[in-house]
Amino acid sequence: MLRIEPEENCRYWIGVVSAAHVKIGVEGGFAQLCHGKAAPLRRMRPGDWLIYYSPRTELGKGEKLQAFTAIGRVVGDRVYEYPMSDSFVPFRRDIHYYPCREVPISGLLHRLSFTAGNPRWGYALRFGHLEIEAADFRAIASLMLEDEVIAEPGYAAAEERYRSDWGQLT
**CA separation for the pair 153, 169 (Å, rounded):** 15
Question: Residue 72: inside a domain, yes or no?
Answer: yes
Question: Residue 78: inside a domain, yes or no?
Answer: yes
Question: Residue 52: inside a domain, yes or no?
Answer: yes
Question: Residue 149: inside a domain, yes or no?
Answer: yes
pTM, entire model: 0.83
Query: Residue 64 has what pLDDT?
Result: 93
Question: Residue 108: inside a domain, yes or no?
Answer: yes
Question: Residue 56: inside a domain, yes or no?
Answer: yes
Containing structural domain, residue 75 = 12-163
Question: Residue 57: inside a domain, yes or no?
Answer: yes
* Other Cβ atoms closer than 10 A to 77: 11
Tell me the per-residue pLDDT of 29-44, one tens digit each, with 9 for 90 and over: 999 999 999 999 999 9
CA 7 → CA 10, 31, 45, 141, 149, distances in Å?
5, 22, 13, 15, 22
Question: Residue 170: inside a domain, yes or no?
Answer: no
**CA separation for the pair 26, 75 (Å, rounded):** 13
Tell me the per-residue pLDDT of 43-62, one tens digit each, with 9 for 90 and over: 999 999 999 999 999 988 88
Looking at every residue in the chain, the average pLDDT score rounds to 86
- Per the CB < 8 A criterion, the answer to whether 45 and 74 are in contact is yes
Looking at the structure of the chain, the number of domains it has is 1
The CATH number of residue 127's host domain is 3.10.590.10
Residue 152 contacts by C-beta under 8 Å, 6 or more apart in sequence? 99
Query: Does residue 149 surpass a pLDDT of 50?
Result: no
**CA separation for the pair 158, 28 (Å, rounded):** 7
